[in-house]
Amino acid sequence: MQEYENDRWRIISSKVGSGFSPTACKDKAEQLEAVEMAAQEEEEEESHRQHQHQGTYSSSQMAAGPSDPGANYQ
């Protein structure tokens, strides 16, 4: 398995061009993956916060409507 990984990064580095070792390519890929994961976690947290906020209305924020038993009808 380790030989496969070494060959994989060697091939990638040859495609990137001179000046980039297989180790440098692997390190950069891991760095980019960490950045992507952090961004995804932030998006999920923001989405979770928005869903929590949407469901929390106080009774003063909600208007009386026809299905509200406390509504005054004239």
pLDDT in tens, the chain (74 residues): 999 999 999 999 999 988 899 999 999 999 999 999 999 999 988 888 877 766 555 555 555 556 656 656 55
Give the global pTM: 0.56
SS3 of the chain: the string is CHHHHHHHHHHHHHHHCCCCCHHHHHHHHHHHHHHHHHHHHHHHHHHHHHHHHHCCCCCCCCCCCCCCCCCCCC
Domain boundaries, the chain: 10-53
